[in-house]
């Protein structure tokens, strides 16, 4: 069966990831210049469009021009050759030494096919982009983060981002769900995030800054145990003149994954029981409600929506996108401290267009939103199409006391991951995290989460640093 275009592009992406891992494991088998040539070819083979000037080292004088859709025939010919010649060694050969030795035999064929495709593109698009601009697109890869949901477990993400920052690596695009959307929005506020300031802010939060009693009457999300109003976060997400930060205003492109509750399914949803005392306290009451989440993991109930990517939702307040992505049905009801007329109108239009009754946690549709991140890049969200996709998962089955009671929910969430797997290059599954219900951890737990995230970042650093290292333009003659 012939591959669809999407599957072919994803397969080439995975071939490049396998090549990088193999070369890191055995750097002396495939000559460096040949390794870099094959990587260059694998990026060119999946390039359909790009924005000249968007890629490359930061340069204030560089002009980013209108997007160019490439002549498809040269790229298609190269893509088919790469899949035919490189798939077997990179995906089917288990022995790394043999894999790289087999790749050496394909170098000259790849070189000739790459030269022919590049020459044809430069000739056809003369005046639309230069050779230097095409090479910049192919030789400079950017980091895309897809942090997933998991309540208080997600505070480990701060430590990982801090470790990457120390290594000189910063995201060029963030797509988050739930706690991943919350922390992603804060990180995207500045091009160089102030991690120390973020930690100090988080430690200073009190319950009243984030939560209050549930709101009676209409709200943007389904009912919950507590109201998530995000007053303390709203103060962080403002422009210098005091106006609210909107999605388009963030320094780093950022999208938030949310779910819409379909009108057709709303009347069949389980009734949320009235709030009542629980003999074992609030955590067990939250556990009871969290188990009801299983009802919402259905496309008949929940519709996936990505906020920030289109002209309409780019005008949404960042705090509203974060709140909606974090609104866990039966647990957290998002109702902002102060409503924003512009955001309210945008959300009204979304409900009307998509036939929705309310919004809820993005984790119900894609707890690790790697596919949404890949689709954003491919649609031109950040100009370049050459990206490394780092997915973050803090919400998987763990047997410690703070996590074990959530195993039915975490198992259901994990069932989503196979559908996301083709879209990320690396998944960081954090082995130690705070409890998901610890939404305002103590200073000690905050510090531990930071250290756990920092330490686990070391696992991905070699692959990430090599993937993001600028490549020299290969010899094609």
> Dihedral through CA 391, CA 397, CA 154, CA 168, nearest 10?
-40
* 183 contacts: CB under 8 Å, gap ≥ 6: 147, 154, 155, 157, 158, 176
Catalytic site includes residue 361:
yes
- Listed residue (397, 401, 403) closest to 429, CA to CA: 397
The one catalytic residue in 178, 325, 326, 343 is 178
Task: Kindly write down the DSSP assignment for every residue of 110-133, as one continuous string.
Answer: HHHHHHHHHHHHHHHTTTT--HHH
Output the CA torsion sign for 179, 183, 186, 191.
negative
CB 432 within 8 A of CB 402: no
- The encoded tokens of residue 217 equal 């009457």
Structure tokens at 21: 């891992």
Distance CA 30, CA 277 (A): 65
| Whether the Cβ atoms of residue 387 and residue 143 lie closer than 8 Å to each other | yes
C-alpha–C-alpha distance, residues 99 and 88, integer Å: 9
> Which residue shows structure tokens 């036939």?
355
Q: How far apart are CA 358 and CA 368, in angstroms?
A: 22
Considering the candidates 34, 234, 249, 361, report the single residue annotated as catalytic. 361
Q: Which residues contact 52 (CB under 8 A, 6 or more apart)?
A: 64, 65, 68, 128, 129, 130, 133, 134, 137
Active site residue 234: no
CA dist., res. 455 & res. 434, Å (int): 15
Cα–Cα nearest to 322, from 142, 145, 147: 147
Q: Confirm if 340 and 258 have CB atoms less than 8 A apart.
A: no
**Closest alpha carbon to 269 in 300, 290, 228:** 300
Burial of 39 (0-12, 13-18, 19+ CB in 10 A): buried
Please give the structure tokens belonging to residue 297. Answer: 């993991």
Q: Which residues are catalytic?
A: 178, 361
């Amino acid at each position: 069966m012939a591959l669809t275009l999407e599957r072919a592009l994803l397969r080439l992406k995975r071939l490049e990831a396998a090549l990088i891992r193999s070369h890191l494991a055995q750097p002396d088998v495939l000559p460096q210049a040949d390794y870099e040539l094959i990587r260059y070819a694998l990026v060119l083979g999946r390039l359909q469009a790009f924005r000249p000037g968007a890629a490359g080292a930061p340069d204030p004088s560089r002009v980013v021009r209108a997007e160019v859709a490439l002549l498809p025939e040269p790229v298609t010919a190269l893509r088919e050759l790469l899949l035919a010649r490189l798939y077997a060694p990179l995906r089917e050969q288990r022995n790394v030494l043999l894999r790289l030795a087999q790749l050496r035999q394909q170098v000259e064929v790849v070189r000739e096919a790459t030269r022919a495709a590049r020459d044809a593109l430069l000739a056809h698009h003369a005046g639309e982009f230069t050779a230097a601009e095409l090479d910049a697109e192919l030789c400079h890869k950017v980091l895309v983060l897809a942090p997933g949901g998991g309540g208080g477990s997600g505070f480990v993400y701060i430590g990982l981002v801090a470790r990457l920052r120390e290594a000189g690596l910063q995201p060029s695009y963030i797509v988050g769900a739930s706690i991943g959307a919350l922390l992603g929005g804060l990180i995207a506020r500045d091009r160089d995030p102030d991690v120390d300031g973020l930690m100090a802010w988080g430690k200073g939060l009190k319950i009243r800054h984030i939560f209050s009693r549930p709101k009676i009457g209409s709200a943007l999300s389904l009912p919950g145990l507590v109201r998530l109003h995000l007053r303390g976060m709203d103060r962080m997400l403002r422009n210098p003149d005091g106006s609210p930060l909107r999605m388009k205003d963030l320094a780093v492109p950022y999208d938030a994954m949310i779910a819409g509750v379909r009108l057709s399914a709303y009347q069949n949803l389980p009734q949320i029981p009235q709030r009542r005392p629980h003999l074992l306290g609030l955590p067990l009451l939250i556990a009871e409600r969290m188990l009801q989440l299983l009802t919402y993991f259905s496309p008949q109930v929940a519709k996936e929506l990505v906020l920030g990517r289109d002209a309409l939702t780019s005008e949404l307040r960042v705090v509203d996108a974060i709140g909606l992505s974090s609104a866990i049905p039966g647990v957290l009801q998002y109702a902002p401290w102060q409503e924003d007329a512009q955001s309210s109108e945008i959300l009204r239009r979304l409900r009307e267009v998509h036939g929705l009754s309310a919004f809820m946690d993005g984790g119900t549709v894609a707890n690790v939103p790697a596919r949404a991140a890949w689709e954003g890049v491919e649609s031109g969200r950040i100009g370049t199409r050459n990206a490394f996709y780092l997915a973050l998962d803090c919400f998987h089955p763990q047997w410690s006391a703070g996590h074990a009671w959530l195993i039915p929910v975490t198992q259901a969430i994990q069932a989503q991951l196979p559908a996301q797997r083709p879209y990320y290059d690396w998944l960081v599954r954090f082995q130690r995290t705070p409890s998901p219900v610890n939404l305002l951890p103590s200073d000690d737990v905050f510090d531990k989460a930071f250290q756990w995230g920092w330490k686990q970042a070391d696992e991905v650093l070699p692959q990430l640093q090599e993937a993001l290292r600028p490549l020299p333009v290969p010899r094609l003659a």
